[in-house]
Each structure stands twice: as structure tokens, then as C-alpha cells.
Amino acid sequence: MTDTQQNQLWGGRFTESTDAFVQAFTASVNFDKRMYAQDIRGSIAHATMLAEAGVLTDAERDAIIEGLNTIKGEIERGEFQWSVALEDVHMNIEARLTDRIGITGKKLHTGRSRNDQVATDIRLWLRDEIDFIDGEMKRLMEGFLGLAEREAATIMPGFTHLQTAQPVTFGHHLLAWFEMIRRDRERLADCRKRVNRMPLGSAALAGTTYPIIRERTRELLGFDEVCFNSLDAVSDRDFAIEFCALAALCMTHLSRMSEELVLWTSAQFQFINLPDRFCTGSSIMPQKKNPDVPELVRGKTGRVNGHLIALLTLMKSQPLAYNKDNQEDKEPLFDAADTLKGCLRAFADMIPAIEPNREIMREAARRGFATATDLADYLVRKGIAFRDAHEIVGKAVAHGVASKKDLADMSLSELQQFSNEIGEDVFDVLTLEGSVSARNHIGGTAPEQVRAAVSRSRQLL
């Protein structure tokens, strides 16, 4: 490639070619070429608008659109020759278009800059990613609901401080996970609103002197509105930061779930089994079945958190308007989206396949005096102040620790030594089933409420 060819798109002002190292150092084509479809879509809309505005003839528009569609096919068939010398996806496609259709290809860039072009491409790309991620979130939520409905009455210990607290149902626990992803999906939809604003037409930073019709381009590209300030439009990356923030929070939720899955599959808990297809073995210990999928999801959370910090740091000192710094926005954004998609897919596939060990869960709930609060509530209903009831139950638990008996295993006479108000009916509240069934209100762990929550949540989806 000659110096003239190398600089054909912007080299008029330069008297020497770019240093080879600088050329490679400043190029972005190796990663931004994944936006080729969005770049071509934006260019087709731009050419269509320019023709309607009288800047291009209909024949020029048709030649440009045909040429762009041909290039899209070349890229998808792996025939397109990407050039680092042409820096980025935009210049590679434009140069190829000019090779194919001649001088008309050079007219495509009329009324726009790479600054508003790349800002538009990123938004189009991220909008497509958001729509795909939304589908994976929905699929995961459906998995939670199906398993929660199936396990609405399965009793397990609920924990605080990772210590047995009160009995809950496995279905209720799964619905807590559902609520986490429901909030993430709401944030995703809210983020999409700000992604779906069109920078195209802002040109380099000040707009353009050509009679462009921005509303027509917006309509063709499916944006909700145009960006109203050209300086802000070409330099704004808030939408990318916002996406990475919601991705980091969603990954945090998946990481919390992963931690519990890792614990529950351990020999110390044995609450659940994961199918072999979601696990791996050890090269030296033949007995091992490692929960690698949740472990890896847990680990990838730090990766996405890092991308969020990278973008915040990237933007923190930039003056208006566009700066070359913003070339560094794509790799963190791309990887954050890829990582979130992969983790959501893994979970959406894995969650419905979980096999709970119901008897082990129930037996674990019997340990740790899980119904102590139920006994305190029982005494309150007998007219004892809660703080006094708390003390009485504390003494009963101390007796249970010493005698190695759960509250439900003590005789009536044993319980009555701590309060004369305790009667035969106390055993109705000390059973695990009685405990969970008593919490029969919206948001409670009772099986009836779990099933109602599943039905209500399906309507939300």
C-alpha cells in the first residue's frame, strides 16, 4: 500500500506517512470490526436520508446501498480483507465501497464524521446486545419460577450470618433470586431508553452545513429520539458506563447465587445435585465433581466490575468534545456484554436442571433451633412481652444445646420449666411445616404464598 493509498481518507494535510508502530498502536479495526453490521446499517440510513434531502441523487443512493450490502456479504462469508492501515471498521468499509463503485463511494461521508458515526454504531450495537440479554434474563427468570413452583413446599434452613435462622421453603429462596434478576431486567430496560438516542447528524462536534433530515435518519434506524446537543452527542459514553454498571450488578447477583450453589453442592451441605454437564472432574482425585460453572461465574464478576471502573476512569477527565481516548471504550464494553451474556446463558440452562435433596434439606432445617422465633411468637400470643419471651426461649435453647435436643424434640414438661404458659398446642408451631405455613402473607415463605408469587410473577413476564 502506498502512502497515498494509506492516507486516502484523511491524509491531505499530512506530508509523511504514519509510523508503522503508531499506525498499529492507534488502529481499532481488530476489535471494532464486530460492529460492521451496525456500521453498514447506519450508512444505508444516512445515504437514504441524503438522497431525500437532495444531497445525493437516487442513482448514487442506490449504488451506495447495493455496494454496502455486497460488502456485508463479503464480511459474513469471510472474504473481506481488513486493513490496519485503514484504522477502523468505518474506513475499511468506506474504502472498499469506493473500490467497488468509484467516486460515488466517497460521497457517503457527506454530512457526517467518524465521531458521530462511531457513537451511532456503538449505540446500535449495544441496543442489539441489550435486546438479546433481555431474552436471556427472561429465560433465567422462567427457570426460577418453574423450579420454585415445583419446590414450593420443600423445607430448608434459612440463614443469616450463614447460621441457621428460620425454616423457609426452597421455592421461597429461589424467588429471592428471581427478584434480583427482575430488578436487573428493569435496569436493563431503563438503560435501553438512554442508549436509544441517535448521535448521527452531529458530525465532528458542531453539526453540519448540509440540509440533513435527522428525524428521517432516526426513523430509519429505529431510535426513539435524536441527541439534542452535537457536542454532547459525539463525546457522551454515559450509556456505556450505565450498561456496565447494570452488568456489574447483575453479575454480583449471579455471583451470590453461585456462592450458594457451590456451598449447597459440597459434601458438607449436599442440598442439591448439579447434572454432570455443568461440572468437571479432577485430574488427580477421581472422586471429585466440581461446580465449575457457578465458580467461573463468581470469578467473572470481578472482570465486569473492572470494566465498569475502566470506563469511569476513561471518561473522568475528558474535555468536550471527542478525544482519541474514547477508542478505549469498546473493548471493556464488548467484553462486559459478552461476559454477561455467557453467564446468563449458563444459569438459564443450569437452574431448571437443579436436583434438590429434599430430605437432607429438611433434616438440616431441624438442626440449629430454627423454630426458636416461632416459640417466642407463641409466647407473645399468650400475653408475654416479646423481650421476656425472647429470654425464655433463649434459656430453652441453652437447655437444648446442653441436652443435644431440638425444641421440637423436647417433652412438654421440659418446655414448661421455662414458662407455665406453654401448652400442648406449642408443638403445632414447633414443627417445620407449621413454621413455614404460619408465614402466610404476601412475601412470606408459606407454600401457598410461593405458588401465588409464581403465578403473579409469570404475569409480570
Residues annotated as catalytic are 161, 282
CA 269 to chain centre: 29
Classify strands 197-198 and 225-226 as parallel, antiparallel or unpaired: parallel
How is 206-268 classified by DSSP, letter by letter? T--SS---HHHHHHHHT-SEE-S-HHHHHH--HHHHHHHHHHHHHHHHHHHHHHHHHHHHSTT
As a whole number of angstroms, the distance between CA 357 and CA 243 comes to 38
**440 within 8 A of 449, measured Cβ to Cβ:** yes
Classify strands 155-160 and 163-169 as parallel, antiparallel or unpaired: antiparallel
Q: Give the residues across from 197 on adjacent strands.
A: 225
Cell of 315: 471518561
Cell of 25: 498502536
As a whole number of angstroms, the distance between CA 161 and CA 25 comes to 50
As a whole number of angstroms, the distance between CA 27 and CA 79 comes to 21
What's the sign of the alpha-carbon dihedral 409, 413, 418, 422? positive
**197 within 8 A of 174, measured Cβ to Cβ:** no
- Strand residues in 65-175 grouped as ranges (E): 155-160, 163-169
- Strand residues in 69-144 grouped as ranges (E): none
Question: Which are the contacts of 121, defined by CB distance < 8 A and separation ≥ 6?
Answer: 32, 35, 38, 39, 42, 89, 90
Question: Which are the contacts of 63, defined by CB distance < 8 A and separation ≥ 6?
Answer: 101, 104
As a whole number of angstroms, the distance between CA 315 and CA 356 comes to 47
**383 within 8 A of 347, measured Cβ to Cβ:** no
The three-state secondary structure class of 284 is coil
CA angle 31, 339, 225 (to 5 degrees): 70
Q: Is the peptide bond before 321 cis (omega within 30 degrees of 0)?
A: yes
As a whole number of angstroms, the distance between CA 140 and CA 353 comes to 12
